[in-house]
C-alpha cells in the first residue's frame, strides 16, 4: 500500500510539473507573440510617422510659395487699378494636381496605424487633414471659375473684365477677394503643418527641427 501511495504521489508530482512546464511554455509563447506584435506596431507607426512628416514638410514649403504667388498676382492687379489702368484680374493656377497628396495620412487611417498615435496628436492630425481637404475643395471652385471665366477673356484683353463705366465687373472683384482669402488659408495651414511636423519629430525623439 505504501508503495502504491508513493507511486501515486510521484505521478501527481510529475503531472503537476508537466502542467507547470506547459503553462510556462504557453505564457512564454504569449509573451513572445506580444513582443513581436508590439515591435511590428512600432515599425508601422514609425513608417507612418515618417510619411506624414514628409507630407507636412512638403506642404509647409509649397503652400507658402503658392500663397505668396497668389498674393503677388492680386497685388499686381491692385497696383494697376490704383494707377488707373485696366488689367487682367489676378489669378494663379497651382501646378499639377489641384489637391496636394494625403496618401501617408490616408494609409495610416485605413490600416489602423493612426490609432497608435497619442490621442491628442491623433485628434490634431485628423482636424488638420479635414481642414486641408475643405480648403483645397475651395481652390477647385476658384480654379473652375478662372478656367471658365478668366482665361478665355485674358486672351482677348483686359477690357473684357470691365463694364461700360470702366469699373471692373463685380464677379471678378469677388473672385479676387475670395482667392486672397484662400492664400490666407494656405498660410494658416502651412503654419499648422509645420507645428504638427515638430510634434511628430518630438514623438520620434528628434527634437526641434
In a domain, 10, yes or no: no
Whether residue 111 contacts residue 149, with contact meaning beta carbons closer than 8 Å, is answered with: no
Asked if residue 13 belongs to a domain, the reply is no
Q: At what angle do helices 170-203 and 119-145 cross, to 10 degrees?
A: 160
**Per-residue pLDDT reduced to its tens digit, 118-151:** 889 999 999 999 998 899 999 999 999 999 999 9
How many domains, in total, are found in the chain? 1
Task: Please give the pLDDT value at position 6.
Answer: 55
Contacts 24+ apart (CB under 8 A), 146-151: 146/91, 146/93, 146/175, 149/175, 150/88, 150/89, 150/91, 150/175
Residue 66 inside a domain? The answer is yes
126 in a domain, yes or no?
A: yes
Record the cell numbers describing residue 95, joined without a space: 501646378
Domain span at residue 93 reads 44-203
93 touches 146 (CB < 8 A): yes
Confidence of residue 64 (pLDDT cuts 50, 70, 90): very high
DSSP label of 173: H
208 domain residue, yes or no: no
- 161: number of Cβ within 10 Å: 22
Amino acid at each position: 500500500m505504501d508503495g502504491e501511495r508513493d507511486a501515486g504521489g510521484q505521478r501527481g508530482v510529475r503531472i503537476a510539473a508537466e502542467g507547470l512546464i506547459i503553462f510556462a511554455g504557453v505564457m512564454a509563447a504569449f509573451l513572445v507573440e506580444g513582443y513581436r506584435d508590439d515591435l511590428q506596431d512600432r515599425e508601422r507607426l514609425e513608417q507612418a510617422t515618417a510619411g506624414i512628416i514628409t507630407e507636412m514638410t512638403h506642404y509647409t514649403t509649397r503652400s507658402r510659395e503658392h500663397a505668396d504667388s497668389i498674393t503677388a498676382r492680386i497685388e499686381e492687379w491692385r497696383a494697376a487699378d490704383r494707377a488707373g489702368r485696366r488689367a487682367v484680374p489676378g489669378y494663379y493656377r497651382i501646378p499639377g494636381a489641384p489637391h496636394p497628396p494625403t496618401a501617408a495620412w490616408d494609409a495610416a487611417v485605413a490600416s489602423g496605424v493612426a490609432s497608435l498615435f497619442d490621442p491628442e496628436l491623433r485628434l490634431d492630425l485628423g482636424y488638420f487633414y479635414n481642414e486641408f481637404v475643405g480648403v483645397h475643395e475651395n481652390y477647385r471652385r476658384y480654379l473652375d471659375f478662372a478656367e471658365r471665366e478668366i482665361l478665355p477673356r485674358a486672351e482677348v484683353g483686359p477690357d473684357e473684365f470691365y463694364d461700360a463705366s470702366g469699373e471692373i465687373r463685380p464677379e471678378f472683384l469677388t473672385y479676387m477677394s475670395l482667392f486672397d482669402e484662400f492664400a490666407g488659408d494656405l498660410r494658416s495651414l502651412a503654419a499648422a503643418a509645420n507645428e504638427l511636423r515638430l510634434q511628430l519629430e518630438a514623438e520620434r525623439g528628434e527634437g526641434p527641427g
